[in-house]
Amino acid sequence: MVMNSFKLNKMIKQLGVKQLALFLLVIVVLVGCNKRTEKPIVNNLLLKEWTGPYGGVPAFDQVKIADVKSAMLKGMELNLQDIDAIANNTEAPTFENTIEEMERAGEELNRGLTYYGIWRSNMSSSEFRTIQGELAPLFSDFRSKITQNEKLFKRIKTVYEASLEKALPADQQRVVELTYNNFAINGAELDAEKKKRYAAINKELSSLYTSFSNNVLHDEENYVTYLNEGQLGGLSEDYIKSAARIATDKGQEGKYAITNTRSSMDPFLTFSSERELRKRVWTNYYSRGDNGDEYDNNQLIAEILKLRRERVELLGFKNYAEWRLQDRMAKTPENAMKLMEAVWPAAIARVAEEVADMQAVADANGDKITIEPWDYRFYAEKVRKKKYDLNSDEVKQYLQLDKLTEAMHYVAGRLFNFNFTPVPKGTVPVYHEDVKVWEVTDKTSGENIGLWYLDPYARQGKRSGAWANTYRSHTTFDGKKNVLASNNSNFVKPAPGEALLVSWDDASTFFHEFGHALHFFSSNVKYPILNGGVRDYTEFQSQLLERWLSTDEVINTYLVHNETGKPIPAELVTKIKKAATFNQGFSTTEYLASAIMDMKFHLADPANIDVDKFERETLATLKMPKELPMRHRTPHFGHVFSGEGYATAYYGYMWADVLTSDASEAFVEAPGGFYDKEVAARLVKYLFAPRNSIDPAEAYRLFRGRDAKIEALMKDRGFPVTAE
């Protein structure tokens, strides 16, 4: 309400005492109503509504790290105001005034967390890590204030119980169930004393998770191996140029830097002829968080395990795994273990065969060694050449990142009807010059679906690995919102003017993460909560997309030589396909060892646990081959100990792989193969677009007509298929 000040003063002078009092009372009431119904003005840029093209975009070019802490504190305050308004509503609880209002709550904080997530994962620094450490326990307190709000949960429970008697529309019913279950499994029904302890445990864990992550990042940044010109044997020219540039950037001009990341370590161990250097690089990588210094994570892990067990015992569960898997596809730790134990014997048996082949090559060369973990990749490459006449470095010449990006966009066009158009530089703000942006549109209507951000290169302060995330998810709730999604990799940046060449495994991972992005872009849900997912299911869609890398359409069009531009020769493609199950012992065993260890840690009694000893003894019991390590050794197993997203859920990749192999057969059996229109339509309709709006098992049955079977997985990996 706006009024000219002169007119207002004149009006007041003309009023009597009683009239003036009544007038002021009306003003107070109006102002009070306005405070309850309108959001307060937020000055912090991190929380402001996004403006600009494409429905508004994050102002990455304007935000400052100095504003992070104040923004997060203000965002939490505003979110709690939203929650209090819902909890204290005097009207009877309904879906509209309780559940829908919760879907609206915290929009400012959600925007702020987009920036926070970028600093945490892509642009970390010592300054940010200090802020992160200060905020971690405050975020934990904030979450507890919501999940332990008794008035709020009472309203949610009322709506939930009413929905059991008279079902709501399907999507609303799913929203109610997810909301209620999220509160119930996080202690909303505990008594006051247990709630207090539950919140305290969460607060302590949040700090431990932050310390764990920062310790791993420290070891990745500080353990760098520098080589001289006489130590480059076996390495490709492209790799050498890149290593030289990195060394120069680190102030070591004239040397060659092998950083402590998988993208740098893996090719070095595969091709370097310097065995002692291979051992040093291998040791640096697999000892992250395990160096017996102030950054050692073993004691942190022991504390995490104890606190997790104590917390779930408050809820009446025997162990953390039992609590965590109750809302996953596996449902119980026993089901997850059953799958892993079914595959494990075949995997380690294949490792024995692979090691025998490698040892034979080493003996024939007169190398006089016994295969050790730092030898596995090196001699596996020699076996690959001997068995299949396949040189992975030769294959790499046809795997250019730019061309692979085009290939992914082609697949998205064929299966999802999406079109990707580069956004001119400067049109959309980015947080680093390496980030590129594409507009995603519907090929038929031209309608904007969203934006795709790609951040491909490793750098100081960026966490290792590859991942996908969203800055804004699709919903049609309170107006349609388009998707802002990103893919993030850690490829070693090539020297200026050079093409970025990647391995076949890295190309598969690139497609994998793009599968997550397509899952985001395909969403057709109304309510924000339905954009979530079940951990042992959401990896399925991304793993499935890896299969399109090896389709003829992609191979024949996008796999061209980086210098000549000629397509990959047919005979080389034949070799690649023949070698499809090569080294599956290694890849399956290193993964499964980590997944089984994750589960074993959370089933064990954590009292007085010696983490290092438990890891060694468990692997010995499993008869883990000594020639290779777990993919993620416990002290740097960030999936499991830097948070709770994958804790007792790392098995999910294998669970999703069963779905992937089985779903792939649906395309193989179809007349149009992997680009069959009818199967692709079912893929989008049932497996991508619904997100978490329907139960994953039911979604898969709608696509396939039955449950998935393990036989396809065993066949894909070249393992013996045992008849039931």
For 501, phi then psi, to 5°, come to -105, 140
CA distance 660 to 716: 10
Which segment of 17-26, 64-73, 397-406 scores lowest on mean pLDDT?
A: 17-26
Q: Residue 391: in which H helix or E strand, if any?
A: none
pLDDT band at 41 (very low <50, low <70, confident <90, very high): low
The 3-state secondary structure of 163-200 reads HHHCCCCHHHHHHHHHHHHHHHCCCCCCCHHHHHHHHH
608-633: per-residue pLDDT in tens? 999 999 999 999 999 999 999 999 99
- How many distinct helices (H) and strands (E) make up the chain? 29, 7
The reported pLDDT for the residue numbered 128 is: 95
Mean per-residue pLDDT, 23-27: 41
Mean per-residue pLDDT, 491-507: 92
CA distance 362 to 273: 12
pLDDT band at 20 (very low <50, low <70, confident <90, very high): very low
pLDDT beyond 60 at 349: yes
Mean per-residue pLDDT, 56-78: 96
Mean per-residue pLDDT, 46-67: 95
CA distance 400 to 348: 33
Three-state DSSP class for residue 483: strand
366-414: per-residue pLDDT in tens? 999 999 999 999 999 999 999 999 998 999 999 999 999 999 999 999 9
Measured between alpha carbons, how far is residue 362 from residues 270, 297, 378, 382, 388 in Å?
A: 14, 36, 10, 9, 17
CA distance 450 to 523: 11
The reported pLDDT for the residue numbered 12 is: 40
500-541: per-residue pLDDT in tens? 999 999 999 999 999 999 999 999 999 999 998 888 899 999
pLDDT beyond 70 at 19: no
The reported pLDDT for the residue numbered 724 is: 47
Mean per-residue pLDDT, 189-210: 96
pLDDT band at 40 (very low <50, low <70, confident <90, very high): low
Average of per-residue pLDDT values in the chain: 93
262-290: per-residue pLDDT in tens? 999 999 999 999 999 999 999 999 999 99
Dihedral, CA atoms, 386, 390, 392, 398, nearest 10 degrees?
A: 170
The reported pLDDT for the residue numbered 8 is: 40
Q: How many CB atoms lie within 10 A of CB 508?
A: 16
Contact between residue 474 and residue 517 where contact means Cβ atoms under 8 Å apart = no
pLDDT band at 38 (very low <50, low <70, confident <90, very high): low
Q: Tell me the DSSP string of 250-288.
A: TT-TTSEEE-SSHHHHHHHHHH---HHHHHHHHHHHHTT
Contact between residue 216 and residue 209 where contact means Cβ atoms under 8 Å apart = no
661-714: per-residue pLDDT in tens? 999 999 999 999 999 999 999 999 999 999 999 999 999 999 999 999 999 999
440-452: per-residue pLDDT in tens? 999 999 999 999 9
Mean per-residue pLDDT, 407-436: 97
